[in-house]
A and B are shown apart, each in its own frame.
Chain A
Amino acid sequence: MNNMRKIERDVKMTDTKITARSVNVHYGDTHAIKDVDVNIADKTVTAFIGPSGCGKSTFLRCLNRMNDTIDICRVTGEIKIDDKDINHKSVDPVQLRAQVGMVFQKPNPFPKSIYDNIAYGPRIHGLSKSKSELDEIVERALRRGAIWDEVKDRLDQPGTGLSGGQQQRLCIARAVATEPEVLLMDEPCSALDPIATAQVEELIDELRQDYSVVIVTHSMQQAARVSQKTAFFHLGNLVEFNDTGEIFTNPSDPRTESYITGRIG
């Protein structure tokens, strides 16, 4: 039993999904990310933790070029997904974002029906040839989002009418509908109650079978619960990156220790 859990938690770092080398981010004069090197494994949940303004969200947004949308933001360095440079001029950011899905802090369903919320991405990316094929994609995505049973009888009703936790799972279902390879989550549970949080955490653990999941969270306990790898950011530096179990029992950097034990660092 214990060994089973250990195997479950073990991460094969040989299957690297994302490689970042010397990544620097500037917002105007502010140096937000300083020379970050990291390898993110496939089929693994990696948590980014750190105090507000440490750069964890900024770094997350580098991974699907969301920072491109901010005029004063400048990203340098190299980020590769499956050995492909995502900042290369041949890469279409819209296509990239279909491959690297994202879920935000506040559930943000489109003001459309539940069905259309999910169908929107596959439609614009031309993933289905017929209505029946699209129906299948929608059902598969809603099942992956662990919300199918709750909404299957009211697919034509607005997504905004769901509860907060359901809306967030709808957004996760929407993110997986385009069959991404990486799922980025920026504080996906901070607007949810504990039960909805637990449902999303269970979902994250299931999604790990197929995706590389990267989650930014302010809740250290959440990082401890859902992730196999944890990265601690502080003042734009990646201070420590290690197995989650190790980070929370025996961190090697005193700054990590100060932060996770709730001391002034």
Chain B
Amino acid sequence: MNEKHIVSSFDRDLESIQATVMKMGGLVEKALMDAVRALKTHDVELAEAVRKGDKVVDELDLTVKTDTAQLLALRSPTASDLRTVLSVMEIASHLERCGDYAKNMAKRTIAMAESGEINGSLAALGRMSTFVEAMVKDALDAYIQRDTEKAAEIIERDLEADQIYNTLFRSLLTHMMEDHRNITVGMHLHFIAKNIERVGDHATGIAEQTIYLATGEFPEDDRPKLDRTALEYQKSEE
């Protein structure tokens, strides 16, 4: 729907909220990138900056929530306008969570600053985060372009992100079982891996909102729900 509203201030309200969300998106993408870079380079200063930077994302999220509440009350949006407002609210929540994960990774990086790493795990985490960051970026691009094909493709990609996470989980677990001195770092790294995996889920959530916005319907979720990695692993050990 590219036509303009007869009441042009309605367009400006909608545009302003969407601009705020896009600003959030930019900040979150950068925070994720910086958090992983800080982790890989043991850069405590950069990690501290990421930790502090999350406040801005939270504030923007609040702005989106109050602005959408006002728009709903004052303009009673319908049809694609309504779906825009609803999806923007959801996307802001997804981004806010991603911001929290970046912050958590930064905190763990600071906590782990003195300890060493587990063989190759940082490189693996780096690859995984590059993969997931691209999902977030593409999800936001798909949203701006209302591109449902691209959005559907991101939902597919999340399967791969989950597989990368499962592989990492196995490898970290192996290292921790082999040498219990690895447990502290291993746990931190595992939580970081889990954080990155969750970011992928939120990118998927953003993609689903894009499909809802464009079509009025939510995509069917036919992906396998149950992750048995941990259980299978335990069994094979017994």
- The answer on A and B forming one complex is yes
The answer to whether residues A257 and B5 also contact, given A249-B216, A262-B10 and a CB cut-off of 8 A, is: no
Instruction: Tell whether, in the assembled complex, residue B83 and residue A263 are in contact, meaning their CB atoms are under 8 Å apart.
Output: no
Complex-state Cα separation, A257 to B82, whole angstroms: 11
Complex-state Cα separation, A163 to B217, whole angstroms: 46
Instruction: Tell whether, in the assembled complex, residue A261 and residue B5 are in contact, meaning their CB atoms are under 8 Å apart.
Output: yes
B6 at the interface (CB under 8 A from A): yes
A132 at the interface (CB under 8 A from B): no
A250 at the interface (CB under 8 A from B): yes
Q: How far is the CB of A100 from chain B (nearest CB, A)?
A: 31
Instruction: Tell whether, in the assembled complex, residue A263 and residue B78 are in contact, meaning their CB atoms are under 8 Å apart.
Output: no
Instruction: Tell whether, in the assembled complex, residue B4 and residue A260 are in contact, meaning their CB atoms are under 8 Å apart.
Output: no
The answer to whether residues A263 and B76 also contact, given A249-B82, A249-B83, A249-B216 and a CB cut-off of 8 A, is: no
**A residues 228-261 with Cβ under 8 Å of B?**
248-251, 254, 256-258, 260-261
Q: How far is the CB of B10 from chain A (nearest CB, A)?
A: 7
Q: How far is the CB of B183 from chain A (nearest CB, A)?
A: 47
> How many interface residues does B have (CB within 8 Å)?
17
Instruction: Tell whether, in the assembled complex, residue A261 and residue B80 are in contact, meaning their CB atoms are under 8 Å apart.
Output: yes
A1 at the interface (CB under 8 A from B): no
Q: How far is the CB of A220 from chain B (nearest CB, A)?
A: 7
B77 at the interface (CB under 8 A from A): yes
The answer to whether residues A248 and B82 also contact, given A261-B1, A261-B77, A263-B1 and a CB cut-off of 8 A, is: yes
Which of B3, B5, B78 makes the CB contact (< 8 A) with A248? B78
Q: Taking CB as reference atom, which chain A residue is nearest B215?
A: A250
Residues of B within 8 Å of A69, CB to CB, are none
Instruction: Tell whether, in the assembled complex, residue A262 and residue B83 are in contact, meaning their CB atoms are under 8 Å apart.
Output: no
Which of A221, A257, A265 makes the CB contact (< 8 A) with B80? A257
A124 at the interface (CB under 8 A from B): no
Instruction: Tell whether, in the assembled complex, residue A251 and residue B79 are in contact, meaning their CB atoms are under 8 Å apart.
Output: yes
Instruction: Tell whether, in the assembled complex, residue A258 and residue B3 are in contact, meaning their CB atoms are under 8 Å apart.
Output: yes
Instruction: Tell whether, in the assembled complex, residue B6 and residue A264 are in contact, meaning their CB atoms are under 8 Å apart.
Output: yes
Residues of B within 8 Å of A257, CB to CB, are 1, 79-80
A-B pairs, 8 with minimum CB distance: A250-B216, A263-B3, A248-B78, A260-B78, A261-B81, A257-B79, A262-B5, A261-B79
Additional 18 contacts, C-beta under 8 A, given A254-B1, A261-B81: A220-B78, A224-B78, A249-B78, A249-B79, A250-B79, A250-B83, A251-B79, A258-B1, A260-B79, A261-B1, A261-B5, A261-B77, A261-B78, A262-B10, A263-B4, A263-B5, A263-B6, A264-B4
